[in-house]
């Protein structure tokens, strides 16, 4: 199996000793905990969510502050603004000068960074567990009191524009995928790149960034996730002290962002500096509303998750065996992949991609990929194939428990979706109940050409 890098990443990471720990505040008198197998979730009086997962295997802790504001919350003409604001939150507060947060975290023996995606923005620090109240105080101050002069904004915009040049404009593959996404979605803001279009970056103003920050960085639109060698009651008390003191503000109303039904295949060709073609195919498919949802769309989305694993989940997967290894004929692809994202506030695509083998045209590879889906629709899949995919899913869940960051990121992602903290267990139970017949049915039902967008990167001709 050879996975392809289709885009610059589904998120953008920020390119990036101290006061002694304070005594715990008295235990808060209000906040309701939700039931879960390990993590506990609370809501502070001002609306901020707190999620705590003890993991005492090492004396360290990972804090992640999540804001439900990503590139999908921008408006046309201001693409890239969520990413810009993420950068600007490193520019200091009235009491903590620019660059001081990262310096203080490093002096504690920790590290910090941030990332922004289509759906969220997140800031995180991993530190010795004893220093958790210190980074919590710093993060609460940054969240509520961030400020910057215009000069810092213009300086940072040069960094961001260079980031776009390096990540996107110097990569024909990344540029093609931008055009592909802009074609796959007509109305939904997922059509815009996270880093922003260069024309928008050139016209953004300091006031645009300040307005986005003031609009979305409110307690009711944020969650603090803490994983590590901590006591839940102690973390809850610190969160009440530092974040609970922030004034509540209304979360802005979000307008419906419904994608119109696709009624025919869309095709784009992109000429760029590349030595081999790249084919990307995206089908608009149903979305998983909730781990417990039993509506037809959510049930189909679970079956599509397993279908993606059957097609491209391991070295003996169907696409690898049939198209790359040429099990039943000639080799038609050098590398190939299939994927379906189940986490996202917006609509999702089932993606198939590949690079043709020498002597094979992109049209032949496209036909071969379509034929593999049709074969599943015609012949189905075996219970053994599904068992292997489920086992891989379970193994991935187990392995990520070795990483505080992976655990915190999953919990934050579930919060952003409005899902419970034990969604992993719920998903596993649901996936265990999906039958081969359901996987066969979704292959037959959801891969119509009228729901398909095709992107093709071709080598440009020398002048």
List Cβ neighbours of 173 (8 Å cut-off, separation of 6 or more): 5, 6, 7, 272, 274, 278, 457
Edge-to-edge strands, sheet with 222-228: 11-13, 111-117, 121-128, 60-67, 222-228, 49-54, 40-43
Alpha-helical (H) ranges within 243-361 are: 296-312, 318-319
Residue 147, classed as helix, strand or coil, is coil
Nearest to 37 by CA among 426, 393, 431: 426
Nearest to 12 by CA among 87, 116, 162: 116
List Cβ neighbours of 174 (8 Å cut-off, separation of 6 or more): 7, 8, 167, 168
The residue to which tokens 């059957």 are assigned: 310
The token pair that represents 235 in the structure block: 């973390």
Q: How far is CA 170 from CA 57, 157, 163, 167, 176, in A?
A: 43, 18, 10, 7, 11
How many whole angstroms separate alpha carbon 129 and alpha carbon 347? 38
List Cβ neighbours of 279 (8 Å cut-off, separation of 6 or more): 353, 354, 355, 356, 362, 365, 366, 369, 454, 455, 456, 457
How many whole angstroms separate alpha carbon 268 and alpha carbon 457? 9
Neighbours of 463 (CB within 10 A): 3
Which among 74, 86, 320, 385 is annotated as catalytic? 86
CB contact at 8 A, 179 and 269: no
The residue to which tokens 């996404």 are assigned: 181
Phi, psi (degrees; rounded to nearest 5) at 51: -125, 125
Q: How far is CA 272 from CA 169, 175, 356, in A?
A: 10, 9, 16
The token pair that represents 450 in the structure block: 């009228």
How many whole angstroms separate alpha carbon 82 and alpha carbon 245? 25
How many whole angstroms separate alpha carbon 269 and alpha carbon 201? 25
Q: Is 379 a catalytic residue?
A: no
How many whole angstroms separate alpha carbon 65 and alpha carbon 114? 9
The token pair that represents 18 in the structure block: 């101290």
Q: Name the residues annotated as catalytic.
A: 86
């Amino acid at each position: 199996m050879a996975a392809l890098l289709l885009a610059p990443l589904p998120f953008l990471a920020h390119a990036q000793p101290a006061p002694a720990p304070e005594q715990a505040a008295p235990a808060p008198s209000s906040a309701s905990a939700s039931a879960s197998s390990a993590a506990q979730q609370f809501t502070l009086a001002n609306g901020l969510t707190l999620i705590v997962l003890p993991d005492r295997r090492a004396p360290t802790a990972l804090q992640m502050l999540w804001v439900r504001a990503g590139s999908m919350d921008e408006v046309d003409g201001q693409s890239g603004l969520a990413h810009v604001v993420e950068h600007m939150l490193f520019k200091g507060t009235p009491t903590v000068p620019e660059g001081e947060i990262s310096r203080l975290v490093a002096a504690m023996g920790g590290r910090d960074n941030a990332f922004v995606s289509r759906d969220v923005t997140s800031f995180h620090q991993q530190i010795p567990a004893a220093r958790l109240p210190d980074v919590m105080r710093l993060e609460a101050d940054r969240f509520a009191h961030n400020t910057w002069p215009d000069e810092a904004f213009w300086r940072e915009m040069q960094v961001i524009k260079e980031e776009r040049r390096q990540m996107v404009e110097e990569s024909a593959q990344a540029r093609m995928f931008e055009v592909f996404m802009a074609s796959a979605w007509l109305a939904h803001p997922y059509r815009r790149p996270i880093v922003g279009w260069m024309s928008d970056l050139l016209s953004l103003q300091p006031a645009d960034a300040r307005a986005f920050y003031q609009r979305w960085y409110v307690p009711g639109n944020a969650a603090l996730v803490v994983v590590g060698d901590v006591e839940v009651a102690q973390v809850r008390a610190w969160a009440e002290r530092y974040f609970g003191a922030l004034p509540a503000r209304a979360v802005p109303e979000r307008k419906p962002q419904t994608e119109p039904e696709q009624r025919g295949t869309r095709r784009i060709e992109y000429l760029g500096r590349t030595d081999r073609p790249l084919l990307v195919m995206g089908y608009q498919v149903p979305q998983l509303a909730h781990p417990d949802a039993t509506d037809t769309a959510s049930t189909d989305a679970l079956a599509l998750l397993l279908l993606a694993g059957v097609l491209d989940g391991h070295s003996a997967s169907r696409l690898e065996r049939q198209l790359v290894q040429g099990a039943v004929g000639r080799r038609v692809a050098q590398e190939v992949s299939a994927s379906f994202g189940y986490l996202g506030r917006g609509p999702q695509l089932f993606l198939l991609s590949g690079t043709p083998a020498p002597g094979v045209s992109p049209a032949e590879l496209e036909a071969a990929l379509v034929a593999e889906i049709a074969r599943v629709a015609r012949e189905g899949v075996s219970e053994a194939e599904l068992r292997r995919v489920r086992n891989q899913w379970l193994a991935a869940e187990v392995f990520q428990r070795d990483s505080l960051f992976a655990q915190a990121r999953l919990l934050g992602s579930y919060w952003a979706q409005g899902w419970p903290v034990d969604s992993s267990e719920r998903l596993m139970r649901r996936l265990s109940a999906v039958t081969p017949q359901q996987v066969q049915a979704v292959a037959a039902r959801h891969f119509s050409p009228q729901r398909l967008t095709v992107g093709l990167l071709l080598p440009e001709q020398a002048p």
